[in-house]
Structure 1
């Protein structure tokens, strides 16, 4: 927690910032600080003098003595942010660099997940720019929200070419929120606008988006804010202290919180970040305020029951965590927040919370005068708390609220009010039970789906096979229970009996998306009772991580039971990037291979046969009295203990491109020419995923498939993937090391290797002309579509494949493209046709629609 000395320093900082705007620097005296901290004057004096010794403050020689911020320390608006010298230090440095750039402020991006504090951080940036006089003190603020702005094109670019947001607003702050909602054409226009504008006319231009979209807008400064859950414990405790202080100030009552509750709040995972944390604390404080009115208490006492059921207040900590907590909480059992903490950037919501507490108090008094029992009053008032918080605590933008009402009106034309209401209640209940948010798409989709079944008697075309149903039941038991209850309610209301398949399809609406990329995890699987768990615990403790898991297999356990338990465990621990399994004996291998086939989860198996070696040493020790005979016998036969990792199947590589021709065939020929491994290489199409999966399943029976090589990973059956760029960015002398996933060192460039290869292999395409034309083509495509290096190399080889095939006189591919497809990709066709003209002119060759479509398919991964 923040010490009194830190509180004193922050108080002086706050006063400095306020006076700075008035060109004043009066400082503070000891009595003022003592009153603020509610401590004795000698204690305040000792703290202030300590800060002087630390060169954070200076003091005057006048009477009374005045304390001011030291000139040796830089003081600015960012000091008000918790973590400015910690987890936000890099973000602050980048922001300052953008604001103080010599030729004028640079546009910058704030990249953060919702609830990471981007609003607070942007306010600090604006305040800093004003303090440094690069932005006028009275600069206006203009926000363009790409979600709710009605005519976003006009808002960004105006009615004519000279009316963009950069020219329309001058000496202003321009915030463009959620730019990931823009079309690729609009993003291209913004990038072009920024590139062409040398002077931003003293505008501070801010963009905001989430991490996965950070490369759409091209700015030199990209500030990534950490998620609240990833912030250090000390910072989270500081944030929580601020929030309780704010509540105490609004309620005009001190709030008492135990250290155990503070710790529980700090270690809890918040899916919605700051917003969720603030909502939890406001609700808890409001409940405590209500109790204080009922019990005539001068203070509010926060209790564990004031928080949601998913809070854990007795979490076991390791030694290092315990020591940190002990130092931060200073062994205090309770903390008192009295609302005397000043933080200008965090007080934007204060007036609404004051209204909240005023309304609670007034409502309580009115009910009490009516002679109602305390329990009735509490229930009634708490309902009032929720409605007031929704009213004052989190504003729903009026445009969004109006838009939602319009959508519901439109939905009501198709779906009955009863069904809409039941569906909304079902999703709200599921959201609370699963601690998961469901967006509007799920709500509307589920309403229409149920309406088609119940009202229109239209059977769902989507059916699940028995394997899929079994998998859903195993993986989502809680969601299944909620779905069955909802189905029962629907049957009672609408007299419709759902089949098992229809029920399971409803369940899929509750299934949480697994598209978010996670990190690989480790699973120790060993025979016996406890060995795997002990190794896992030690791994987590020494690595200060929680990415290691364990499965101990009882020696007498049925293998079918083991399979079911391991499959369930894999589903549970997989974060989206797969599982590396370290196992001790061969009986696990077949089980995990079966799990790979059924789940398609990436699983890598590493056999470390320690149990088998132990058994062998034990047997030999019983028959031999010479320790060295036993030792050397085991060492000489070490390879045989690990035989389960190997098999007699021929190794195979699968090269991929969109059509299975062109780049895939060229890559196959390259590997066949330069690899000395003798592995079979099969070129395949990635566009027909079902056919690819079917072929791979068949080949796995005969061949040991080592890897896929292509422009992007098909993620099939846990088979490893090598990007095509890695093949060509290294010398062909290193090809076999790459194919075996061994480290290499290289200084050659990717295109040098490609050109060198093509010099020997191409018969109809002149490499000299490729060198003249292809860099320009790839630059245009990369700028327009933000292509990764892997996609660039894949496109390069694919286009060369089309040229070589076409110039040789071979029949050209002819893909039948519907008018719908051509219309939907009209802009892409036009852009790529234009980009390819230098190549067409150099080679006297014309790319047809089929060629261009396959290029688009590679770029957009169609």
Structure 2
């Protein structure tokens, strides 16, 4: 409830807003007038007014009678609040509003503003706020005309009459504000006549706003006449939070009109947030009205109007197909398992009561909630997009108030031991630590499944295949476990169970993936240039936050700009874009996109084409290789890109607590050959972080070894204790003296129970040696070790009767490397015989592919 002081101040503000005009100063009010309007004693009122004066919210005149009026600061604040009610005023519309204010404030006879943007973006609403603003600013009188003409409502002849004919709106609405929408449907000749008339009539004095529906031809034509061009973003280019506010607003309006509450479920809300709206806000509003009208005809009097998916137009349900792509953004806007109730100007959120159902029954409920109108493909898309979140909720549900003692009372000892053994194996297999919640949940879920003993499948084959594609190793591992459960307990379990256990194993992994990252964008001129770079990066490092954009030299620059902007909007995860580009106007485009979208974009130029062109030009002039090299180094060494060092890398390492890496680095720099190496220093205790850093470094150069205070025990990288430093004169000597040389055969025997040292020595090493002969080239150390490890893993999988990975390039490899394929098949026979396995044609093709790819990189 408002205090008396708040009531007094609010009245002064509202009264001042209504009566401020171009000919009048801000209204000044005495205590008698305020006392009558507010029904307060003058003595009490005087005390409150003096408090507001002390707070500098209002001011008062000297002399008698004392008059009170808004302070200058408060007037400015009120003027700025005009646009506060617009959705997106501080985000997507921030620049639009600022540019519009600047245009209006610019001193000229007829302020002319050209709004560009698609149909239905809210031009009328923005113009209404502009009118309110200019009246408050005293640029227009409060009773000035405000005329809106939508060219879509008339034919060419009718529009001509309104603009330059007998109904001339400019004459009728002089000294006001005029908005002409959707000018793109008007001919160039008519536009030309209107501009000529405006230029030639010196009596005109109004604010003119024209909206053009992104017609590039007419935009170029109008550009010269209009002083200010302001872009209004489409609904697709506004974030989901803003779209949610529009949906709220439209439903609340319908609730007010009907004097009834309106209810929708979370699945329908997801559709409304994601389906493509060609006509933007107009389409969104009309579709909501359509749905409300259909639901109203079926609802009983004095009950909530409950809208189902089938009540809305068919195009709305297309939103189901986009849920998976935007699931992380949806979780930031919506609450899980919530029904939304719109009651006049409020939105109520009702949590759906969770019944004591198993996971499949819960999923089936969600499936049915979509209604009969959604087809199977759309329902499956909705289900697979929400399934991981649903499972997480289900686990919390069934493990609530559960501990180890309670599990023993519910589940058999045999089942508990089986699950414990399975999770221990999974921890080793996937290098993952699992929580007790996962352990209890699998026990409870499988206990229910064994009791149910049903092979009925609830999750579609398409959804199961999608899970297998995404988590193939975990699925195979889970399937094998469930087969043992079926055999041990003499039950039949559905395919759903394998999918369920797979998703449970990957819950923690998915939480990591949900974290938003900076996205690296490669932008290059040419066909598939950027895409090829991204493919190489993904081959060397399994990353997901890198994207490509190939800029065709033949495309129209405006089209290329829009395509690049849409690409950046699509891939942005909220933490910015790092763009690596080759040359030309790309930097200008990136700067403009950052300004337009407010996405933080940092860019680095890597001008390979310029280097190549410059080298060719120098060569044609007859210069020798040394001169060309010196020229390029001199010309491009100070550019914004970084030239990668070709020196071998040494890492000086200590723990974060010790903080000694810089001291180790300085000591290394006293050794005679330190200039031959690039020395980096890290204070890192976390092994995972160190491995990530080393993986990044290896993309630029070869890591020779680590000198440090502790051994991080990283495969295939030599470690030397820093205490060895006083014993040597060179870095080469330091690592040559190390007795930590890696024994790959010993490593394989430690990792896999099936191997012994002699078998590998007598079969695997000769096989790799034979591969070198087949390809007539000795392998690098990295290729040799990589091949040995690959073969070890492959043999281990085959001995455990696990399926080989499919090589989709099998046919092309077998055709292109026919002779090599035959020789690899022959060379592998001894290895197959030793371990009693059979290599598939896909396995042999993969061996050849690894060798060929490594040869290309080296």
Shared fold (TM-score greater than 0.5)? no
Q: Bin the TM-score by the shorter chain.
A: 0.3 to 0.5
TM-score, length-scaled by structure 1: 0.34
Tell me: higher relative CO, structure 1 or 2? Use CA pairs within 8 A at least 6 residues apart: 1
- Please say which structure displays the higher CA radius of gyration: 2
